[in-house]
Structure 1
Amino acid sequence: MKNKTYLKASLREIFYSKGRFIAIVLIILLGTLLYVGIKATGPILNHSASRYVDEQELSNLQIISTGGLTAEDEAMAEKIPHAQVESGYQFFYADDEKNQVIKLYSYAEKNQQNQLIVKKGRLPKKENEIVLDEKALNEGYRLNQTFKIKQPDQLERQNFKIVGFVQSPLYINTEERGLSTIGNGSVDFFAYLPENNFSNKVKSVIYVRFANVKNKETYGKTYKAIMDKNIEKTETLFADRPKERLAEIKTDAEKELSPKKAEVTDHLTKLTAAQKELDQASTQLEQQASMAAGNPQLMQAQAELQAQQKELTKNREQLLAAQEKLNASEKEISELKTPSYSYNQRADNSGFQEYGDLSERIAAIANVFPVFFFFIAALITFTTMTRMVEENRREIGTLKALGYSRFEISIKYIIYALSAAAIGIVLGSLIGTHTLPRLIFELSSDRYNLPGVEAFYLVRPIIQAALAFLFASLGAALLVLLRELHEKPAVLLQPKAPKPGKRIFLERITPIWSRMSFNSKVSYRNLFRYKSRMIMAVIGIAGCAALMVAGVGLKDSIGSVGDKQFGPIIDYEATVTLKDQPDKKKIEALFSQNKKITSHLAVLNQTVELKQKGQANQKLMMMVPENRQKFGNYLHLKQAGNFFELPANGAVITQKMAELFDLTEGDSLTVYDEDQQTFKVKIAKITENYLGNFLYLSKDYYQKTRGTAFVMNSYLLKSQKMTSNEEKGLSQKLLSSNQVMNTSFMSTQIKTQEHSMENLDGIVWIFVVLSGLLAFVVLYNLTNINVSERLRELSTIKVLGFYDREVTAYIFRENFVFTLLGILFGYGLGIVLTKFILDQASMETITFPLVIRPGAYLLSGGLTILFSGVVMFATHFRLRHINMIDALKSNE
């Protein structure tokens, strides 16, 4: 009966202190929600993408060759362990009338890989039917329209009937369709048409799916490790294939050329014989004409011979021209370059890596932001539970005097702490796991062709949250109980002696202290009298303010990558990539014809690789300008805020690569070119850079280190501001010159970067909102504790005749100081926290600058002050209803 009554009393404690109980539950809930939710978001987003691409049978690898792919290539691919192989056609088609570039793919019902999703209409059934990218709907295409493709060297027919609009797992991004080598330089949309329409004998691509990565997370480490081994085996199998393919191409070309050469030679031989006969006939006619001058028949015969001679000469010229072309073709065949084979993974598909980067950034942020949030929540929970037990000293003393055991006394607090922790942890885990991943996905879903997310629970973060909050709540209660239960009942029944007042530093500043009111002096003395209360309040408020500063600071910093890179560093508008052996004069003439182009600079751009044991291989762009002095007008090299010119001797490397490979000025660096040939450079300078990785060399230093002549392959263009249509027009004109492979505009990169960073905006605002909620609950809880601990003090000043507003101001002044100190410390802590998160979130190709605009401080400080005001407004009504008699009655 005794225990039953005590159990009821324990449960009543929750009801009587429901404000404090709800506050503890909310703090634990918010901490668990953010920690568990954000920790689960990256894996859930990745799993959802993996599930989608696996359902659509997306190929793990695409093998592409510049020399085309034959049956021999397919047979070799089938020898790759665990491989399932399919082949197909693909090529770019430029519609000059509509200024559009379409990537055409072959479609075959028998193929299992890269399954299309029909969004409207159906898949092709007849050879004259075609399906278009869903994106083509925005271009005005509709079902049953005729779609023309004028490509006679590739396709058997021109006109196709549009029967459907589809999504392809090759493109999970709703906007990006990759770059092209024709038209305006970028793909507008894709299309699939039946395979029988393609007239080419050689295929364009081999798709490979590996059984040993089936059901593996496509963005996971296990998948990447297995795929690295698969690609290594593939490259080994195809190691000799480029040379073999070159031999096949030459043999096929020579087979086709030989009959033509023989035919031309035969015709020339016949012409030579005919010429001899004609010369003999001409000689006979001349002899006859000398004997019978003026003979009409002889004159006619001479005229006929002249006509035949003219025709013979014409035919000879044509045959010689044909022979010259055949000789030129023969020379081209002998000079053919070895075809290159490339092995593209899923990450090389348009938009695929961007989605993975989003998850990586969330995961990087999840390692810092929620943990700090979690720490603040746990700290406040610990403080609240500690104060609660200390407030119940008299009750503990009474129960101990009545003969209750230590365990029985502890049951009440164990129930209280476990109830609050369990409710908060369970609700936080449920809401966090099911809400945050879905919310973050919805905020970025307009950019990805993914059906949705499938939430699942991650055990580790839930266990970590449970352990931390159980320690913060139950652990705090038990720690204080252990101390209190060692006291004798008589001591526990006595109230703790109030802390003695002390002179504070402000009293020593007489001009200020003497002008302060009595109430202000009391408030400031109380601040320093209860230092632990002040410290906990300042830490709690500073933590919440720092979280809000960091939240908005992350948005500012992440959004500033483009602003820091394009303009301050990259100061050109486009890069023009040329084909082999271009006509430099012809290209520069095209530049001069465009009034928008103000200047150009020839450069050598080449992808190189850095390798180091214990560090993943890194690719970067090596840029060698033709003119070192002019290069500074196109790209601004900067170190520690100071600009410098490209050194004549030595290389300049960007800061991220220097950090990854532990490079300093003066170090030697081994670089691998595209053919895996090595050369060494000396690091002369390390330059600031935020997007991509680069290695800069002067022309002379490049020739010295490589031992080869400088051969430019690109141009950097500076121009006036151009519209999107003007950029497309310039790109199309350059590509149509047959000298240019691609034109890449910085405006496109800026837009891509902005869109990529927009995905994180929603996440940042979630952080800010939850941090604001935590700040509100923390302020409420700390104020509630402050009032509960000082009921006798507040009742005393009410009895002395203080008005309700003066009693509220008595507490408000202290809270206002706590709030201001917390905000100021929070600003500094927010800067440190933002910098730390950015360092964690920075990737191999992106370095985030630390940019916190004034709005972050205004929002953080403003919300904290607003919440403090709301809490004090609510506290005012509580203070009005303090029962002075109950609070002042004797404790004896």
Structure 2
Amino acid sequence: MKNKTYFKASLREIIFSKGRFIAIVLIILLGTLLYVGIKATGPILNHSASQFVDKQELSNLQIISNGGLTEVDEKLAKEIPDAKVESGHQLFYADSDKNQVVKLYSYDKKNQQNHLIVKSGHLPKKENEIVLDEKAKEEGYRLNQTYQIDQTDQVKRKNFKIVGFVQSPIYISTEERGLSNVGNGNVNFFAYLPESNFSSEVKSIIYVRFTNVKDKETYGKAYKKAMDQNIEQVEKLFADRPKERAAEIKHDAEKELLPKKAEVADNLTKIANGQNELDQAKAQLEQQAAMMPTGNPQLAQAQAELEAQEKELNSNRDKLLSAQQKINDSEKEINELKTPSYSYDQRADNPGFQEYGDLSERIAAIANVFPVFFFFIAALITFTTMTRMVEENRREIGTLKALGYSRYEIAIKYIIYALSAAVIGIVLGSVIGTHTLPRLVFELSSDRYNFPGVEAFYLSRPIIQATVAFLFASLGAALLVLMRELHEKPAELLQPKAPKPGKRIFLERITPIWTRMSFNSKVSYRNLFRYKSRMIMAVIGIAGCAALMVAGVGLKDSLSSVGDKQFGPIIDYDAIVTLKEQPDETAVEKIFSKNEKITNDLAVMNQTIELKQKGQANQKLTMMVPENRVEFKRYLHLKEQGKSFTLPNDGVVITQKMAELFELKKGDSLTVYDDDQQTFKVKIANISDNYLGNFLYLSKDYYQKARDTDFEVNSYLLRSKKMTKAEEENLAQKLLSSDQVINTSFMSTQIETQEHSMDNLDGIVWIFVVLSGLLAFIVLYNLTNINVSERLRELSTIKVLGFYDREVTSYIFRENFVFTILGILFGYGLGIILTKFILDQASMETITFPLVIHSGAYLLSGGLTILFSVIVMLATHFRLRHINMIDALKSNE
């Protein structure tokens, strides 16, 4: 009976202190929600993407060759261990009338890889049917329209009927479709048409799916490790194929050329014979002319016929000599034919695929810092609240000990209270966090990806970590205080703790200020320093929440500032024009001069190089060598910690991220690997600021000295007036049609891509800000609630002494106001440190995030914290108005 009554009393404690109980539950809930939810977001997003691409049988590898792929290649591919192989056609089609570039794929219903998702209509059933990318609807295409492909050398048919619009797992991005080597250089959309329509017997792509990665997460380390091994085997198998394919192409070309060559030779022999016969006839005619009188009509006719024959013979000879020259040129081209390249593209090379993975990586990087700090603040406040609760009930504990209750029986009340709050908060936080945050993040970025949705699942590690931490913060706090209180004698517990003695504070020593302060203000400031632990805990709690809000908005500012820091302050050119091998530079510069938008151009040599070091993953960089190093500063502003410098003539400049990764400093020697894995050594003259990509800059003279080879122009940097998208596309098309240019890359496109990739994180940042604001509100409420509960006798006393309700509230408000202001100021500093730490964690091998926090972050953080403080004080004011002064003053009797 005794225990039953006490158990009811334990439950009543929850009801009577429901404000505090709900506050503890909400703090634990918010902490668990953010920690578990954000920790689960990256894995859930990746798992959902992995399930989608596996369901659509997306190929793990694409083998592509610029020399085409034959049956020999397909047979060799089938020898790859654990591989399923399919082949197909793909080519770029440029529609000059519509200024569109379309990537055409062959469709075969027997294929088991890269299943298309039909969004409307149906897949091709007849040879004259075609399906278009769903994105083609933006260009005005509709079902049952006729689509024309005017490329008779590669596609047999010209007119096709549009029977469907589809999505392909090769393109998970809703916008990005990759680059092309025709038209304006950018693919607008893709299309699939029956394989029988392609005229070439040589295929252009081999799709490979590996069974040994079937159950592995496509963004996981295990998948990447297995794929590295698979590609290593593929490269070994195909190691000799480039040379073999070159020999095959050469043999086929010579075989095709041989009959033509023989025919021309035969015809030239005939012409030579005909010329001999004609010469003999002319000689005979001259003998006859000597014997005949001048003006003989028969003689004149014979001479005319011979001249006509000679003219026709010469004409035929010229044609044959021209044909022979073409054959000679073809033979020369065959002899100079370069070995075709074989590339092995993984899923990460598909448009948008890596961007989605980077999003998850950034979330994971943020999840390692932001929620942990949030979690720490929540646990700290929970610990404080539970500690104060037990301390408040020391008289009750003393009474129960005096009545004969055991330590366990007394403790069970607080164990129930702490466990109830912790379990409710942890369970709700885990469920809500797991099911809402990943879905919310996905919805905020779903317009950029073709995934149907996410499938939430529980991650045991963060849930266990949250459970352990909050059980310690709630139950642990209660038990720690109970252990101390229960060791005291009942008589000691029944006596109230002696209040802390008043002391002179530092402010009292500043007489001009102290003498001008009101009595109430003096009391408030004395109380602040009298209860230092209360002040420190309040400042820490408020500072933590303010820091979280500063960091949340600061992250948004910093992430969105990458493009602003890179394009303009560092990269000051508007386009890069990549030339084909051995280009006619005059023809390209002629196009530049005719375009009134282009103001300047600079010839450069761009190459992809590689850095290698034990214990560090190989890193690729772009090596840029300008023809004129002094002129180069107009196109690219080299800076070291914000200070500009000119490209040196002796030594190289490397960007900061690579210097950090490889622990490089000025004066170090560096070994560089080129495309052919040939090495050369350079000396580091300087390290440059950079935020996007990795670069190595060196002068033309130093390049020639370091490599002992001539400088060869393969690119141009362009500076121009502002151009519209249409003007950019028009320029790119003209450059590509000159047959001297491979691709034109505009910085405006890169800026747009960068902004879009950062937009994906905006939603996450605002989630942090909102949850941090909620935590700040609950923390302020809880701390104020504790403050009032601990000081009921004090507040009742001043009410008895005649203080008005407004003055009683001000008595507490002044203290809270000081806590809030101090907390905000400390929070600003802490927020800067926290933002910097998160950015360091979130930065990647190709992106460095600058620390940028605009004034709005401080205004939002400070403003919300003050607003919450005012709201809490208004609620506290109504509570203080209803204090029962008699009961409060008798509470220790």
TM range, smaller chain: over 0.9
For the residue of structure 2 that corresponds to 1:394, the secondary structure is helix
CA distance in 1, matches of 2:362, 2:316: 71
The residue that corresponds to 1:307 in the other structure is 308
The verdict on how the C-alpha distance between 1:138 and 1:890 changes in structure 2, with shifts beyond 3 A counting, is closer
CA distance in 2, matches of 1:525, 1:193: 84
Counterpart mapping for 1:467-866 below 5 A: 467-866=468-867
The residue that corresponds to 1:130 in the other structure is 130
For the residue of structure 2 that corresponds to 1:57, the secondary structure is coil
Q: TM-score of the superposition, structure 1-length normalised? A: 1.00
Counterpart mapping for 1:263-274 below 5 A: 263-274=263-274
The alignment status of 1:399 with 2:392, answered yes or no, reads: no
Counterpart mapping for 1:335-414 below 5 A: 335-414=336-415
Shift of 1:697: 1.1
Shift of 1:362: 0.2
What do the CA deviations read for 1:548-575 (whole angstroms, capped 9, x no partner)?
0000000000000000000000000000
What do the CA deviations read for 1:234-264 (whole angstroms, capped 9, x no partner)?
1111111111111111111110111111100
What do the CA deviations read for 1:742-779 (whole angstroms, capped 9, x no partner)?
00000000000000000000000000000000000000
CA distance in 1, matches of 2:658, 2:861: 35
The residue that corresponds to 1:47 in the other structure is 47
For the residue of structure 2 that corresponds to 1:744, the secondary structure is strand
The alignment covers a number of residue pairs equal to: 892
The residue that corresponds to 1:163 in the other structure is 163
What is the one-letter code of the residue matched to 1:699?
K
The residue that corresponds to 1:258 in the other structure is 258
The residue that corresponds to 1:195 in the other structure is 195
Percent of matched pairs sharing the same residue: 83
Counterpart mapping for 1:170-319 below 5 A: 170-292=170-292, 293-319=294-320
The residue that corresponds to 2:888 in the other structure is 887
CA distance in 2, matches of 1:649, 1:92: 44
Shift of 1:682: 1.1
What is the one-letter code of the residue matched to 2:55?
E
Shift of 1:499: 0.1
Shift of 1:890: 5.8
Shift of 1:287: 1.2
CA distance in 2, matches of 1:198, 1:369: 54
Shift of 1:133: 0.3
The residue that corresponds to 1:426 in the other structure is 427
What is the one-letter code of the residue matched to 1:379?
L
What do the CA deviations read for 1:611-639 (whole angstroms, capped 9, x no partner)?
11111111111101111110000000000
CA distance in 2, matches of 1:71, 1:697: 45
The residue that corresponds to 2:99 in the other structure is 99
CA distance in 2, matches of 1:727, 1:254: 42
CA distance in 1, matches of 2:454, 2:426: 23
What do the CA deviations read for 1:211-235 (whole angstroms, capped 9, x no partner)?
0000210000000000001011111
For the residue of structure 2 that corresponds to 1:114, the secondary structure is coil
For the residue of structure 2 that corresponds to 1:160, the secondary structure is strand
What do the CA deviations read for 1:11-45 (whole angstroms, capped 9, x no partner)?
11000000000000000000000000000000000
Runs of 4 or more consecutive aligned structure 1 residues displaced over 4 Å after TM superposition: none
CA distance in 1, matches of 2:826, 2:240: 65
What is the one-letter code of the residue matched to 1:42?
G
CA distance in 2, matches of 1:666, 1:153: 56
For the residue of structure 1 that corresponds to 2:691, the secondary structure is coil
CA distance in 2, matches of 1:221, 1:890: 63
CA distance in 1, matches of 2:681, 2:485: 71
CA distance in 2, matches of 1:640, 1:72: 55
The verdict on how the C-alpha distance between 1:659 and 1:890 changes in structure 2, with shifts beyond 3 A counting, is closer
What is the one-letter code of the residue matched to 1:338?
T
What do the CA deviations read for 1:372-409 (whole angstroms, capped 9, x no partner)?
00000000000000000000000000000111110110
CA distance in 1, matches of 2:844, 2:891: 65
Shift of 1:295: 1.9
CA distance in 2, matches of 1:610, 1:71: 37
CA distance in 2, matches of 1:870, 1:757: 35
CA distance in 2, matches of 1:816, 1:239: 73
CA distance in 2, matches of 1:679, 1:126: 57
CA distance in 2, matches of 1:468, 1:812: 32
What is the one-letter code of the residue matched to 1:351?
G
What is the one-letter code of the residue matched to 2:657?
K
For the residue of structure 2 that corresponds to 1:879, the secondary structure is helix
What do the CA deviations read for 1:526-561 (whole angstroms, capped 9, x no partner)?
000000000000000000000000000000000000
Shift of 1:678: 1.3
CA distance in 2, matches of 1:866, 1:339: 68
The verdict on how the C-alpha distance between 1:890 and 1:144 changes in structure 2, with shifts beyond 3 A counting, is closer
Q: TM-score of the superposition, structure 2-length normalised? A: 1.00
For the residue of structure 2 that corresponds to 1:760, the secondary structure is helix
CA distance in 2, matches of 1:577, 1:343: 22
For the residue of structure 2 that corresponds to 1:772, the secondary structure is helix
The residue that corresponds to 1:6 in the other structure is 6
CA distance in 2, matches of 1:307, 1:86: 61
The residue that corresponds to 1:56 in the other structure is 56
Superposed CA RMSD? 0.6
The verdict on how the C-alpha distance between 1:890 and 1:694 changes in structure 2, with shifts beyond 3 A counting, is closer
For the residue of structure 1 that corresponds to 2:685, the secondary structure is strand
For the residue of structure 2 that corresponds to 1:439, the secondary structure is helix
CA distance in 2, matches of 1:193, 1:649: 56
What do the CA deviations read for 1:437-478 (whole angstroms, capped 9, x no partner)?
000000000000000000000000000000000000000000
For the residue of structure 2 that corresponds to 1:374, the secondary structure is helix
